[in-house]
Chains A and B, each alone.
Chain A
């Protein structure tokens, strides 16, 4: 049984806040939900499914239902890091298709920039961390280790990684809502200070407040909404970990989830008009592109050069400016879905990708180098 073309994203809203010390995470989530409902032409009464993660701890979704005064028929709080919202959309599609709910709101809000809750290291709640944290593993140096490995094995250069950050900033300069909009050069990236060698400050995502919401419903219902539907064509998800010590660090969850999504959508790489790929760090983009099969392993460095990832390039990527420049409230997955939806609807103005019919979203949660989740979605207008 295929899920292809059975469901669609019919409402999408990105909260404009990047620093909101006066708001709570739930408030941002609620305002985002309202924005997505307006976008779709629906009301809160139409929502009978809810999915969220990353707010108010493990059981936070119950409090969120309380805050929104919802008694939904379907709840999903799959919590697998920043990619969670891509998992939620795939699960919501299955739930709608199976008749568990009619309209599922995938929603998120965060005040991590204005109210940082604590350390930025690898999360202490993960039981595996206790064996790694004493040796100094943090999120950023787990990613730095992947970059170091890639450079060692394939001769990837800091300039190649830097071009990713430069392209994201170019896109951010065309997005009035982006947090950092002043264009940068490769030299700026290389001259910014090291955070964890070989990653410079500008190789790392920003930290902002933010939130967003997308609404998933059936293909049939989608046809009567305010805007043209963005159909889910295929999805895949999995996790990668230490594999009991037999780990190939450069094989990511994307390798498996990407294959599944392409197969299920029945499309090839040539069909993809634009991609939204989680950019927690520049190396995250490069290795995910390889694992998703856009280029061969080891060739990512050359692949990202020459403006290929620009909005007017061969594979437009993260046209909103990404987590590197626009919005990254610890969990970035939501914004991959929202920008892909806007691009497929043709709402992106100066940064609009020409003839955008099919988009790929891929999210990573957790940390490359230790344990991470990955989900890939293929979305299309037809």
Chain B
């Protein structure tokens, strides 16, 4: 999976794609099939989509990014609202000379994708919303805990939160992988993301979205639940729900075959 830096709004932004590498300042080729822009979740980074970029890249042109302050992109702080991230995505697509794309967002990235569709509807071919919600259930306890980590008051203990019991039992490597991915981002940025998520309420607004939408939910996800997914489906006209068994919040790596097949089928079927 080639990576590259592009300059977006003054941030050196790391991108992940599939295909030929190019010289500095030369945008890679995104003309194969549909362009699919992948937006990661809170405190995460674009590399977490490596299984999707590989699989979807067979027929299409997926491209993921590290949002400002995340992973290997520059900026010591993240942006402060999901709306700001949505506008950043617009600037990112400008830089990549992508007029419109299928926007796939995971968790906070899903909220960014919905906000993006509301702010920049002409740039959305379709939406894929994974493990996300129109209003996140973020407890004050979780915010306080991350703040304590960001202030150095406490260490962040390894845990298996968010994973399906089956993943923990049979596929512990992806839990470890997820842990290693999230520690690539400064705790302050992760804290900022959680605060940004806590302010999201798109329940009314998303009724205005009229692009095709696929909503994916892990059956065992306790954070962004199947109920949350059903609410989105009920609000966006024509949206389709796909519940993935034996997956928690991270179906992209817990059940990649099912996840990728569902997205592939949806994207292939777009008119």
Contact = CB atoms under 8 A, between A and B. Distances in A.
Nearest to B148: A191
Contacts, number: 36
Interface in A1-22: 17-22
B254 to A, nearest CB: 29
Given A20-B12, A21-B12, A192-B151, 16 more contacts: A18-B76, A19-B75, A19-B76, A21-B5, A21-B72, A21-B73, A22-B14, A114-B72, A184-B151, A191-B153, A192-B152, A193-B154, A193-B155, A200-B152, A201-B152, A208-B76
Contacts of A39: none
A215 B154 CA distance: 43
Nearest to A113: B76
A332 interface: no
A4 to B, nearest CB: 40
A141 to B, nearest CB: 18
Contacts of A208: 76
What 8 A-B pairs have minimum CB-CB distances, sorted nearest first?
A22-B12, A201-B152, A192-B152, A22-B5, A21-B72, A18-B76, A19-B76, A191-B153
Give the one of A22, A114, A179 with max B CB within 10 A.
A22
Interface in B117-162: 151-155
Contact of A20 (B69, B74, B152): B74
B157 to A, nearest CB: 12
B12 A202 contact: no
B23 to A, nearest CB: 15
Interface string A180-221: 000010001001110000001110000010000000000000
A21 B154 contact: no
Contacts of A179: 76
B151 A17 contact: no
A75 B22 CA distance: 38
A17 B153 contact: no
Contacts of B12: 20-23
Q: In which size bucket is the chain B interface?
A: 10 to 19
A17 B12 CA distance: 11
Contacts of B76: 18-19, 179, 208
A192 B154 CA distance: 7
B74 A22 contact: yes
Give the one of A17, A21, A201, A202 with max B CB within 10 A.
A21
Nearest to A181: B77
15 contacts: A18-B76, A19-B69, A19-B75, A19-B76, A20-B12, A21-B14, A21-B72, A21-B74, A23-B12, A114-B72, A179-B76, A188-B153, A193-B155, A202-B152, A208-B76
Give the one of B5, B12, B69, B154 with max A CB within 10 A.
B12
A63 B1 CA distance: 32
A242 B117 CA distance: 66
Contacts of A23: 12
Interface string B66-80: 000100111110000
Interface string B30-53: 000000000000000000000000
A19 B68 CA distance: 11
A208 B188 CA distance: 14
A184 B152 CA distance: 11
B80 to A, nearest CB: 13
A17 B153 CA distance: 26
A200 B154 CA distance: 11
Contacts of B151: 184, 188, 192
Interface string A105-139: 00000000010000000000000000000000000
B152 A193 contact: yes
Contacts of B14: 21-22
Contacts of A188: 151, 153
Given A22-B5, A22-B12, A17 B152 contact: no
B73 to A, nearest CB: 7
Nearest to A114: B72
Contacts of A184: 151
A179 B72 CA distance: 17
Contact of A19 (B74, B152, B153): B74
A205 to B, nearest CB: 13
Contact of A17 (B5, B69, B74, B155): B74
